[in-house]
Structure 1
């Protein structure tokens, strides 16, 4: 099954996890990049109010890809704004989408609901891998958690 790991990472933590997942799965990596990054307050306010953020051009067609693993940080209880833009623009019909949240802790229910709602009416099979708590966790532990999730995806 051809898999692509897609991620957005503001500070590199989610990138580390996504790259580890991709290496374990033998998958391509695609990074979502915001057209313009904002400061912490600007990003937080956009997350709370749902203000869209443009993303840099990337391959959104996923031709020949069967499964997409989406790694997204949680901002104000929601997927990061650039990821929400990606979900609106990407051609995900007929794909399997596995979602992994990276967060400092807390509930992911609202983020799961937002992803389901953003894909309503599209033929996308969505599964949630879960969450990796990233607060005060070293890079080795993040990679170990990502390897566990990769094994779960393979099995």
Structure 2
């Protein structure tokens, strides 16, 4: 199965994640780059007006892959708009796909992500996984936008996510079993 990792990263947190995935899978990787440099104000405008920014063209055949892993941040409960642009432009080629993110980890966000991805691509993802920055923060810094949004992932931080990443790459079987046992 030929896999492509497609990622967008504003703060480089999700770039670190994409590179870890690529190293584990030894597959192709593609970084989404915008035509214009992004800032926090542009992010807000994208969210308020549901804009999708222009991204640089791809110089390869997106349709030549069997499986796609998308990696991007979550902005106000929504997939980062540069990834949304890619998904809209390439939706007819994308069949088997999963999504993973390093994010603040808001409650009930995963269901919204599944709904959002399904709306864009016309079918549900195989798996959606959130790796919460809150798991890297200490006591009073947890669940605080100031700290979750300003946190910058280091390669060493990824060790704390190894089990979740490996589970994601196996298709979420271990987490499904844990959820059934807990329920």
Aligned partners of 1:82, 1:2: CA distance in 2, in Å? 24
Match of 2:69 in 1: 69
Distance between the aligned counterparts of 1:94 and 1:81, measured in 2?
A: 18
Tell me if structure 2 keeps the 8 A contact 1:98–1:129.
yes
Alignment of 1:1-155 (within 5 A): 1-59=1-59, 61-90=61-90, 92-93=92-93, 95-106=95-106, 107-120=109-122, 126-134=125-133, 135=148, 136=151, 138-139=153-154, 140-142=156-158, 144-145=160-161, 148-150=164-166, 152-154=168-170
TM-score (norm 1): 0.84
Distance 1:72 1:60, change over 3 A: farther
- Structure whose CA Rg is larger: 2
Runs of 4+ residues deviating >4 angstroms: none
Structure 2: where are the runs of 5+ without partners?
Answer: 134-147, 172-183
Tell me the C-alpha RMSD between the 2 structures: 2.3
Distance, in Å, in 2 between the alignment partners of 1:41 and 1:78 is 16
User: Structure 1 regions of 5+ residues with no counterpart?
Assistant: none
Give the structure-2-normalised TM-score: 0.72
Give the secondary structure class of the aligned counterpart of 2:62: coil
Aligned length: 152
* Contact 1:6–1:70 (Cα < 8 Å) also in 2: yes
Relative to 1, partners in 2 of residues 1:138 and 1:72: Cα closer, same or farther, differing over 3 Å? closer
Higher strand share: 1
In the alignment, is the contact (CA less than 8 A) between 1:97 and 1:126 conserved in 2? yes
Conservation of the 8 A alpha-carbon contact between 2:6 and 2:70: yes
User: Which is worse superposed, 92-101 or 137-146?
Assistant: 137-146
